[in-house]
Amino acid sequence: MNSYASYKNRRSSSQLLPRVYLLLQVSIMLLLSYISYMTLNAVGMSELLIYATLGLVNCYYLSKIFFKCKNISKRNNFGKGFRT
């Protein structure tokens, strides 16, 4: 068996689990946003302030998750110049 083929298969299959993990993070973030919205609304906080706060926090975390996913997709491109 060719060692490069096994290396290529290992690297391509290693991208699935991190993406599933990132999808889990997004779903947990949405669930926590809903719970915090309901809690803050029950306390009596202004809805506009709740929307602004949750929007900023969710944009920050989604950008972090997006850049993590972008780094995962670049894994195969990193070592192309070093292989023969």
pLDDT tens for 1-11 read 555 555 555 55
Task: Determine the distance from the C-alpha atom of residue 75 to the mean position of all C-alpha atoms in its chain, rounded to a whole number.
Answer: 16
pLDDT below 70 — which residues of the chain?
1-15, 72-84
pLDDT at residue number 18: 75
pLDDT value of residue 36: 94
Question: Which sequence spans correspond to the domains of the chain?
Answer: 3-75
**Secondary structure (3-state) at 7:** helix
pTM: 0.63
Q: What is the pLDDT of residue 23?
A: 85
Residue 2 backbone dihedrals phi, psi, to 5 degrees: -70, 130
CA dist 23 and 62 (Å) reads 11
Angle at 17 between CA 79 and CA 57, to 5 degrees: 100
pLDDT at 62: 85
The answer to whether the CB of 67 falls within 8 A of the CB of 77 is: no
Question: For the chain, what is the largest distance between any 2 Cα atoms, rounded to a whole number of angstroms?
Answer: 66
